[in-house]
Each structure stands twice: as structure tokens, then as C-alpha cells.
Amino acid sequence: MNSQIPFHLVGDAEWESIKGSGMTWDELAEKHPQPSWCSYPHALRGTIGCWSLVGRMVNGEDYCKSCDE
């Protein structure tokens, strides 16, 4: 089980560090997985994933209630 914090909870400072690190989307998803309540397949696959999650607009489960995947 991954004990890392979900991607939508990554803070601004850590996000800036990640962006400059050269980390791939797969590595990011391993370190900071999509939220457990997110059913979007491979939501953290960059431009083919969930644009709201990748764009850091998701702030909680309520944001995703109308998701049509």
C-alpha cells in the first residue's frame, strides 16, 4: 500500500519542486497517486489523464462528483 499523499493534496512548493525534477507522470503517480475515490483510469497520465486533476484544480471529492470519466 502506498503511504504517500494523494496528488490533489500536494502543496504549491512541492509541486514546483516536482516540475523542476524531471519526474515522469508514471513516477509522479507512484509517489502521489490519484485519490482513492477517483475512478478515472490512469488519471495522472499527463495530457491523456484527467485534465482537472493534472491541472491541479481538484481540491476534494466534491469537485469530482459530476465527473463523467
Q: What share of the chain is helix, strand, coil (3-state, %, to 5)?
A: 40, 0, 60
**pLDDT above 60 (res 12):** yes
16: Cβ contacts below 8 Å, ≥ 6 apart: none
Asked whether residue 15 is assigned to any structural domain, the reply reads yes
What is the number of domains present in the chain? Answer: 1
Give tens-digit pLDDT for 25-65: 999 999 999 999 999 999 999 889 999 999 999 999 999 98
Range of the structural domain that residue 16 is part of: 7-64
Asked whether residue 17 is assigned to any structural domain, the reply reads yes
Asked whether residue 2 is assigned to any structural domain, the reply reads no
Asked whether residue 1 is assigned to any structural domain, the reply reads no
